[in-house]
């Protein structure tokens, strides 16, 4: 097929003419590129399970050392030469030693707390992406109260999409 014009093809839902279709009534239009996950790139669609056998460091809890203390816990190469768009969905299997995990599910794995012991004390996951890798960081906060934010035994289950599509807006 030759390079498309913006409105080369459109398919609309049943009962809606292609001429009048708009928004969700348009099931396919060459004007709107698909959000693309490359089926041949093994990291484009992953389920990643990070289990903690080692304790990432925490701040001392003495002001001003109250966090975040950031530790890189995992990274992978995404295979592109540019910054791709990404989606992450994190679920947490908390340690059985923590009796009250207030958050055991997060939609998004960026700045996402998975352990909250009290104000200023907990642990979160931050995921960043550059033109080479995707990085997973644990951020720990400790203000001297509520106990140390220990995460040994925690399992973070992360569904990851790394799209072909970049963030250049072009």
Partner 1 sequence: MANAQPQTSGIKIAQPGWDSRTCPDYQLIFSSSWPSITIAFDQVVSGTTNSFGFLKFTVPHNLGFYPLTMAWQFSDSTQTAQLGRVFPDMDKTNVYFNSRIGQFTPNTTYYFNVKCFNLDISYPQSYTYLQSASFNTAYDASYGIKVAKSKKNVYSTDLRDFVLHSRAASPQVLAVITEQSLSTPITSGNTGKISFTNPQGYVPWLFAYVAFKNTDGSTYYAWAPPYSQSYPAVAINTDGKGTSTLTIINTATALPYGSIIALRDPLFVSTYQRVTY
Residue 100 in contact with partner 1, rule: CB under 8 A: no
Residue 45 in contact with partner 1, rule: CB under 8 A: yes
Query: How far is Cα 154 from Cα 97, in angstroms, rounded to an integer?
Result: 10
Q: Total residues contacting partner 1 (rule CB under 8 A)?
A: 80
Residue 21 in contact with partner 1, rule: CB under 8 A: no
* Residue 19: CB minimum distance to partner 1, A: 15
Query: How far is Cα 118 from Cα 54, in angstroms, rounded to an integer?
Result: 22
Residue 77 in contact with partner 1, rule: CB under 8 A: no
Q: Judged by CB under 8 A, which stretch of 59-67, 68-76, 139-147 contacts partner 1?
A: 68-76
Query: How far is Cα 17 from Cα 106, in angstroms, rounded to an integer?
Result: 40
Residue 169 in contact with partner 1, rule: CB under 8 A: yes
Residue 45 · residue 57 · CB < 8 Å: no
Interacting residue with partner 1 among 76, 120, 144, 146 (CB under 8 A): 76
Q: Judged by CB under 8 A, which stretch of 62-70, 129-137, 139-147 contacts partner 1?
A: 129-137
Task: Select from 127, 120, 111, 117 the least CA-distant residue to 150.
Answer: 117
Query: How far is Cα 69 from Cα 120, in angstroms, rounded to an integer?
Result: 12
């Amino acid at each position: 097929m030759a390079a498309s014009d913006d409105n080369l093809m459109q398919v609309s839902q049943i009962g809606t003419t292609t001429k009048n279709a708009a928004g969700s009534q348009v099931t396919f239009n060459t004007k709107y590129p698909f959000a693309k996950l490359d089926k041949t790139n093994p990291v484009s669609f992953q389920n990643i399970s990070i289990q903690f056998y080692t304790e990432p460091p925490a701040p001392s809890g003495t002001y001003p050392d109250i966090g975040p203390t950031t530790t890189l816990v995992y990274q992978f190469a995404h295979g592109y030469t540019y910054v791709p768009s990404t989606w992450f969905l994190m679920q947490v299997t908390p340690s059985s030693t923590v009796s009250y995990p207030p958050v055991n599910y997060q939609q998004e794995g960026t700045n996402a707390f998975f352990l909250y012991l009290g104000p200023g004390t907990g642990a979160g996951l931050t995921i960043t992406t550059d033109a080479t890798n995707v990085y997973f960081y644990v951020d720990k906060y400790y203000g001297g109260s509520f106990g140390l934010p220990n995460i040994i035994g925690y399992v973070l289950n992360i569904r990851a999409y790394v799209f072909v599509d970049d963030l250049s807006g072009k």
